[in-house]
Amino acid sequence: MQKKIAVIEDNLEMRENISELLELSNYDVVSASDGKEGVELVKKELPDLIICDIMMPGLDGYSVLYMLGQDPNTKNIPFLFLSAKAEKEDFRKGMNLGADDYLTKPFTEMDLLNTVEKRIQKNFASNNMSVESYYSDSDLSEIIEDLCGHEKVKSKMINKRTNVYYEGDTANDVFYVKSGLLRIYVENQDSKEFSLEILSKGDFFGVSGMLPNKSYGESVLAIEDSELAIIPIDHFISEMSKNASLNSSLTSYLINTINRRNQELVEIAYDTVRLRVSKTLAKLNNKIEDEWIHMSREELASLVGTSTESVIRMLSEFKSDGIIEVKGSAIKVLRSEDLVDSRF
């Protein structure tokens, strides 16, 4: 099926040259001579790709991109910027607003055709993603690291023993751990805590805040001084609508999290206390870069899902067996290979 391309360019000669070249390459081309006309044209024609100049009288290319991005019918159409300037600031602004690619004038015929074909094929692949590819493993942390470079994403230091948020707090952001150690937990009616997960560098949290009630379903506490990238939820959702890889990797992440937590609940129900303490220490030893685990016995008991007294008794046994070393509240694993085998 012939693909339709909208060309928005105020320079008549440039507009006609681009249109002719695309038509000779078997594309259906519609064109507009300014931004206002271009917005109306795109909403009417719903092309497969938009090629738009940045510097135009009236509505410039940035305004065109923004206005089309507010319309559900046009926001996902691939957008290619044309610019006579080779300044990185122009391109960065355009990409941050949601542009898919850009070309710097003057460009060759092959530059234009290759870029157009690449963008159309990429969009076609995203729209025709199979179930297998949608749920395939992907590196969520790598995608979010790229997202953290956006001007809307800020970094913040969270001091040790400080809560990032509490269960029930109004949700405005999701978070990416740049450094440090944090704990996700929930409380029962008696204010007894149960820890769900330990977070370290590269982990992502706060997704519960994306639910319709706009509140967090858990609490998060910094176990040590931590640096977080704070991503506004509205911006994150906007990125998901444009980025198929982010969408699929987040889905995989949530499914894997549910499966892992279900398995952990089974282990809490059937494993001995000694084995649960052993597994928790092994997990912490892998998560924490420091050789010493600095964690209160209450926090450790919350992770294990048992009483503080039981954790203290098990740590004493591990110490006597030469598996760990203890200095105050700090724990050092001496023989990690013996931990998960501690079944009795």
Distances, alpha carbon 6 to alpha carbons 32, 42, 123, 215, 227, in Å = 8, 7, 15, 41, 44
Q: Give me the pLDDT at residue 128, please.
A: 52
In which band, very low, low, confident or very high, does the pLDDT at 288 lie, cut at 50, 70 and 90? confident
Tokens of 115: 């870029």
Q: Give me the pLDDT at residue 344, please.
A: 44
CATH of domain 140-263: 2.60.120.10
Q: What is the pTM of this model?
A: 0.55
DSSP annotation of 341 reads: T
User: What pLDDT, in 10s, does the model give residues 181-196?
Assistant: 999 999 888 888 888 8
Buried b (16+ CB within 10 A) or exposed e, 252-268: bbeeeeeeeeeebeeee
| Sheet architecture: strand order including 173-179 | 154-158, 226-232, 173-179, 204-205
Give me the residue spans of the domains in the chain.
4-128, 140-263, 271-338
User: What pLDDT, in 10s, does the model give residues 64-122?
Assistant: 998 998 888 898 899 998 887 655 556 666 666 667 788 888 888 888 998 888 888 77
Share of the chain above pLDDT 70, in %: 90
4-128 and 271-338, same CATH topology:
no
Q: Give me the pLDDT at residue 341, please.
A: 59
Separation of alpha carbons 79 and 54, rounded Å: 12
Q: Give me the pLDDT at residue 91, please.
A: 60
Separation of alpha carbons 171 and 159, rounded Å: 20
If you average pLDDT over residues 236-248, what whole number do you get?
80
Q: Give me the pLDDT at residue 87, please.
A: 53
Q: Is the pLDDT of residue 131 over 60?
A: no
Radius of gyration of the chain (CA): 27
Question: Which CATH number applies to 4-128: 3.90.76.10, 1.10.10.10, 3.90.550.10, 3.40.50.2300?
Answer: 3.40.50.2300
CATH architecture label of 271-338:
Orthogonal Bundle (1.10)
CB 245 within 8 A of CB 238: no
> What distance, in Å, lies between the first and last C-alpha atoms of the chain?
67
| CA within 13 Å, CB half, 339 | 20
